[in-house]
Amino acid sequence: MTSTVQDGVVAALEERVEELTREILDKDELIVHLQAEKRELRRWAEQLHHQLSANQPTAPIVVAHDAKTSDLERQVTEATERIKSLVTQCTANKDEIASLYRKVYEKEQECQELVVQLQSVRNQLADLQCQVPVAAHSPEGSPRKANEWTEETTRYPTPHFAMDSNEVHYLVSQWTQNPTKIKSLMLWLVAMSEDADEPVSIASKLPVAIELPRLSNEVRDGFLTLVVPLLRKQMTRQVFVHTRPYDQRHTDLRIRVAPK
Protein backbone atom coordinates (compact mmCIF):
# COMPACT_ATOMS: atom_id res chain seq x y z
CA MET A 1 0.00 0.00 0.00
CA THR A 2 2.81 2.46 0.90
CA SER A 3 4.38 1.63 -2.45
CA THR A 4 1.07 2.49 -4.20
CA VAL A 5 0.92 5.87 -2.42
CA GLN A 6 4.54 6.58 -3.37
CA ASP A 7 3.79 5.70 -7.03
CA GLY A 8 0.85 8.12 -6.98
CA VAL A 9 3.02 10.93 -5.61
CA VAL A 10 5.68 10.29 -8.28
CA ALA A 11 3.03 10.26 -11.03
CA ALA A 12 1.59 13.55 -9.77
CA LEU A 13 5.03 15.16 -9.70
CA GLU A 14 5.82 13.93 -13.21
CA GLU A 15 2.47 15.31 -14.45
CA ARG A 16 3.32 18.69 -12.88
CA VAL A 17 6.73 18.64 -14.61
CA GLU A 18 5.08 17.98 -17.98
CA GLU A 19 2.57 20.80 -17.38
CA LEU A 20 5.31 23.30 -16.51
CA THR A 21 7.36 22.17 -19.50
CA ARG A 22 4.42 22.88 -21.82
CA GLU A 23 3.98 26.31 -20.20
CA ILE A 24 7.67 27.12 -20.76
CA LEU A 25 7.46 26.09 -24.42
CA ASP A 26 4.38 28.28 -24.91
CA LYS A 27 6.06 31.22 -23.19
CA ASP A 28 9.28 30.70 -25.15
CA GLU A 29 7.22 30.84 -28.35
CA LEU A 30 5.52 34.03 -27.15
CA ILE A 31 8.89 35.58 -26.27
CA VAL A 32 10.17 34.86 -29.79
CA HIS A 33 7.02 36.41 -31.26
CA LEU A 34 7.32 39.53 -29.07
CA GLN A 35 11.00 39.89 -29.88
CA ALA A 36 10.16 39.78 -33.59
CA GLU A 37 7.43 42.36 -33.03
CA LYS A 38 9.91 44.50 -31.07
CA ARG A 39 12.39 44.39 -33.94
CA GLU A 40 9.64 45.31 -36.41
CA LEU A 41 8.58 48.27 -34.25
CA ARG A 42 12.17 49.47 -33.99
CA ARG A 43 12.52 49.18 -37.76
CA TRP A 44 9.38 51.26 -38.27
CA ALA A 45 10.62 53.86 -35.81
CA GLU A 46 13.97 54.10 -37.59
CA GLN A 47 12.25 54.45 -40.98
CA LEU A 48 10.07 57.27 -39.68
CA HIS A 49 13.10 58.97 -38.18
CA HIS A 50 15.00 58.74 -41.48
CA GLN A 51 12.00 60.02 -43.45
CA LEU A 52 11.62 62.89 -41.01
CA SER A 53 15.29 63.85 -41.38
CA ALA A 54 15.38 63.50 -45.21
CA ASN A 55 12.15 65.27 -46.12
CA GLN A 56 12.36 68.10 -43.55
CA PRO A 57 8.55 68.38 -43.20
CA THR A 58 6.69 71.40 -41.94
CA ALA A 59 5.99 71.88 -38.26
CA PRO A 60 2.50 70.19 -38.22
CA ILE A 61 3.85 67.13 -40.04
CA VAL A 62 6.79 67.00 -37.64
CA VAL A 63 4.34 66.98 -34.77
CA ALA A 64 2.36 64.17 -36.40
CA HIS A 65 5.49 62.11 -37.05
CA ASP A 66 6.76 62.77 -33.54
CA ALA A 67 3.45 61.56 -32.12
CA LYS A 68 3.57 58.38 -34.20
CA THR A 69 7.21 57.83 -33.27
CA SER A 70 6.39 58.25 -29.58
CA ASP A 71 3.54 55.76 -29.92
CA LEU A 72 5.85 53.24 -31.59
CA GLU A 73 8.49 53.77 -28.91
CA ARG A 74 5.83 53.25 -26.24
CA GLN A 75 4.82 49.97 -27.92
CA VAL A 76 8.47 48.93 -28.07
CA THR A 77 8.87 49.72 -24.36
CA GLU A 78 5.74 47.75 -23.48
CA ALA A 79 6.91 44.81 -25.58
CA THR A 80 10.31 44.94 -23.87
CA GLU A 81 8.71 44.93 -20.41
CA ARG A 82 6.44 42.06 -21.45
CA ILE A 83 9.45 40.09 -22.65
CA LYS A 84 11.27 40.72 -19.36
CA SER A 85 8.20 39.55 -17.41
CA LEU A 86 7.91 36.38 -19.49
CA VAL A 87 11.62 35.66 -19.12
CA THR A 88 11.27 36.01 -15.34
CA GLN A 89 8.28 33.62 -15.34
CA CYS A 90 10.15 31.11 -17.49
CA THR A 91 13.11 31.22 -15.11
CA ALA A 92 10.83 30.63 -12.13
CA ASN A 93 9.11 27.74 -13.92
CA LYS A 94 12.45 26.20 -14.82
CA ASP A 95 13.50 26.40 -11.16
CA GLU A 96 10.23 24.72 -10.13
CA ILE A 97 10.78 21.99 -12.72
CA ALA A 98 14.27 21.38 -11.36
CA SER A 99 12.83 21.16 -7.84
CA LEU A 100 10.13 18.73 -9.00
CA TYR A 101 12.71 16.58 -10.75
CA ARG A 102 14.63 16.37 -7.47
CA LYS A 103 11.44 15.36 -5.64
CA VAL A 104 10.69 12.71 -8.27
CA TYR A 105 14.19 11.32 -7.84
CA GLU A 106 13.81 11.29 -4.03
CA LYS A 107 10.44 9.51 -4.27
CA GLU A 108 11.91 6.94 -6.64
CA GLN A 109 14.71 6.33 -4.14
CA GLU A 110 12.15 5.87 -1.34
CA CYS A 111 10.17 3.44 -3.50
CA GLN A 112 13.35 1.48 -4.20
CA GLU A 113 14.14 1.31 -0.48
CA LEU A 114 10.61 0.03 0.24
CA VAL A 115 11.03 -2.65 -2.42
CA VAL A 116 14.31 -3.75 -0.81
CA GLN A 117 12.70 -3.84 2.65
CA LEU A 118 9.76 -5.86 1.32
CA GLN A 119 12.10 -8.35 -0.32
CA SER A 120 14.06 -8.63 2.94
CA VAL A 121 10.86 -9.43 4.87
CA ARG A 122 9.92 -12.04 2.28
CA ASN A 123 13.36 -13.62 2.56
CA GLN A 124 13.09 -13.75 6.37
CA LEU A 125 9.66 -15.37 6.10
CA ALA A 126 11.03 -17.93 3.64
CA ASP A 127 13.91 -18.71 6.03
CA LEU A 128 11.46 -19.24 8.91
CA GLN A 129 9.32 -21.53 6.77
CA CYS A 130 12.39 -23.56 5.83
CA GLN A 131 13.26 -23.96 9.52
CA VAL A 132 9.84 -25.42 10.39
CA PRO A 133 10.10 -29.22 10.41
CA VAL A 134 7.31 -31.34 8.99
CA ALA A 135 4.93 -32.47 11.73
CA ALA A 136 4.90 -36.17 12.43
CA HIS A 137 1.88 -38.05 11.21
CA SER A 138 -0.46 -39.65 13.68
CA PRO A 139 0.30 -43.34 14.29
CA GLU A 140 -1.74 -45.76 12.29
CA GLY A 141 -4.74 -47.04 14.11
CA SER A 142 -5.25 -43.80 16.10
CA PRO A 143 -6.61 -41.23 13.64
CA ARG A 144 -7.87 -37.89 14.89
CA LYS A 145 -11.60 -37.71 15.39
CA ALA A 146 -13.69 -34.74 14.38
CA ASN A 147 -14.22 -32.14 17.15
CA GLU A 148 -11.65 -33.86 19.36
CA TRP A 149 -8.89 -31.89 21.09
CA THR A 150 -5.44 -33.16 20.15
CA GLU A 151 -2.22 -32.20 21.90
CA GLU A 152 0.47 -30.60 19.75
CA THR A 153 3.82 -32.00 20.86
CA THR A 154 6.03 -30.97 17.94
CA ARG A 155 8.84 -28.63 19.00
CA TYR A 156 9.77 -25.78 16.69
CA PRO A 157 12.84 -23.50 16.75
CA THR A 158 12.57 -20.40 18.93
CA PRO A 159 12.32 -17.21 16.81
CA HIS A 160 14.96 -14.51 17.19
CA PHE A 161 12.38 -11.83 18.11
CA ALA A 162 10.56 -11.22 21.40
CA MET A 163 6.93 -11.89 22.23
CA ASP A 164 6.09 -8.16 22.25
CA SER A 165 7.32 -7.71 18.68
CA ASN A 166 5.75 -6.49 15.46
CA GLU A 167 5.71 -10.03 14.12
CA VAL A 168 3.58 -11.34 16.99
CA HIS A 169 1.33 -8.26 16.93
CA TYR A 170 0.73 -8.82 13.23
CA LEU A 171 -0.08 -12.50 13.81
CA VAL A 172 -2.58 -11.64 16.56
CA SER A 173 -4.21 -9.01 14.34
CA GLN A 174 -4.87 -11.74 11.76
CA TRP A 175 -7.06 -13.51 14.33
CA THR A 176 -9.08 -10.45 15.39
CA GLN A 177 -9.29 -6.73 14.70
CA ASN A 178 -10.88 -6.01 18.10
CA PRO A 179 -8.44 -3.73 20.01
CA THR A 180 -9.61 -5.00 23.41
CA LYS A 181 -9.09 -8.65 22.45
CA ILE A 182 -5.70 -7.87 20.93
CA LYS A 183 -4.58 -6.03 24.08
CA SER A 184 -5.80 -8.82 26.41
CA LEU A 185 -4.19 -11.58 24.36
CA MET A 186 -0.87 -9.72 24.05
CA LEU A 187 -0.87 -9.08 27.82
CA TRP A 188 -1.34 -12.80 28.48
CA LEU A 189 1.28 -13.90 25.94
CA VAL A 190 3.93 -11.46 27.17
CA ALA A 191 3.30 -12.28 30.83
CA MET A 192 3.42 -16.06 30.27
CA SER A 193 6.58 -15.82 28.17
CA GLU A 194 8.54 -14.37 31.11
CA ASP A 195 9.94 -16.32 34.06
CA ALA A 196 7.90 -16.06 37.27
CA ASP A 197 10.66 -14.65 39.48
CA GLU A 198 8.33 -13.06 42.04
CA PRO A 199 5.57 -14.80 44.05
CA VAL A 200 3.09 -12.09 43.06
CA SER A 201 3.35 -11.14 39.41
CA ILE A 202 1.08 -10.11 36.58
CA ALA A 203 0.99 -13.69 35.32
CA SER A 204 -0.36 -14.93 38.67
CA LYS A 205 -3.44 -12.75 38.22
CA LEU A 206 -4.18 -14.02 34.73
CA PRO A 207 -6.02 -17.20 33.68
CA VAL A 208 -3.86 -20.29 33.18
CA ALA A 209 -5.38 -21.06 29.79
CA ILE A 210 -6.69 -19.28 26.70
CA GLU A 211 -8.73 -20.54 23.78
CA LEU A 212 -8.67 -18.99 20.32
CA PRO A 213 -11.60 -20.22 18.20
CA ARG A 214 -11.77 -20.49 14.43
CA LEU A 215 -8.20 -19.64 13.52
CA SER A 216 -7.41 -19.90 9.84
CA ASN A 217 -4.93 -22.68 9.14
CA GLU A 218 -2.22 -20.13 8.29
CA VAL A 219 -2.71 -18.22 11.56
CA ARG A 220 -2.84 -21.51 13.50
CA ASP A 221 0.53 -22.50 12.03
CA GLY A 222 1.88 -19.07 12.96
CA PHE A 223 0.89 -19.58 16.61
CA LEU A 224 2.32 -23.11 16.69
CA THR A 225 5.65 -22.20 15.06
CA LEU A 226 6.25 -18.71 16.49
CA VAL A 227 4.17 -17.97 19.61
CA VAL A 228 4.34 -21.38 21.31
CA PRO A 229 8.18 -21.61 21.06
CA LEU A 230 8.39 -18.12 22.62
CA LEU A 231 6.13 -19.28 25.47
CA ARG A 232 8.31 -22.35 26.06
CA LYS A 233 11.45 -20.23 26.19
CA GLN A 234 10.88 -19.39 29.89
CA MET A 235 11.92 -21.98 32.50
CA THR A 236 9.25 -21.74 35.24
CA ARG A 237 6.12 -23.02 33.47
CA GLN A 238 5.05 -25.95 31.35
CA VAL A 239 3.11 -25.13 28.19
CA PHE A 240 0.41 -27.44 26.84
CA VAL A 241 -1.08 -26.84 23.41
CA HIS A 242 -4.18 -28.49 21.95
CA THR A 243 -5.97 -28.01 18.64
CA ARG A 244 -9.39 -29.04 17.38
CA PRO A 245 -10.65 -28.89 13.79
CA TYR A 246 -13.50 -26.43 13.30
CA ASP A 247 -13.91 -26.98 9.57
CA GLN A 248 -11.62 -27.62 6.61
CA ARG A 249 -10.13 -24.11 6.76
CA HIS A 250 -10.29 -23.25 10.47
CA THR A 251 -8.98 -24.67 13.74
CA ASP A 252 -9.61 -23.97 17.43
CA LEU A 253 -6.47 -23.49 19.53
CA ARG A 254 -6.08 -23.88 23.29
CA ILE A 255 -2.92 -22.96 25.24
CA ARG A 256 -2.55 -23.82 28.94
CA VAL A 257 0.35 -23.21 31.34
CA ALA A 258 1.21 -24.94 34.61
CA PRO A 259 4.03 -24.45 37.12
CA LYS A 260 7.01 -26.78 36.71
Give residue 168's pLDDT.
94
Mean pLDDT by 10 residues, the chain (260 residues): 60 78 80 78 73 57 61 80 82 81 80 76 66 44 65 93 93 92 94 73 81 94 95 92 94 93
pTM beyond 0.75: the answer is no
Give residue 192's pLDDT.
92
SS3 of 163-226: CCCHHHHHHHHHHCCCHHHHHHHHHHHHHHCCCCCCCCCCHHHCCCEEEEEEEEHHHHHHHHHH
Domains of the chain (ranges plus CATH)?
2-130 (1.10.287), 150-259 (no CATH)
Give residue 98's pLDDT.
82
Among residues 66, 75, 2, which one has the least CA distance to residue 39? Answer: 75
Rounded CA-CA distance 72/49 in Å is: 11
Give residue 143's pLDDT.
47
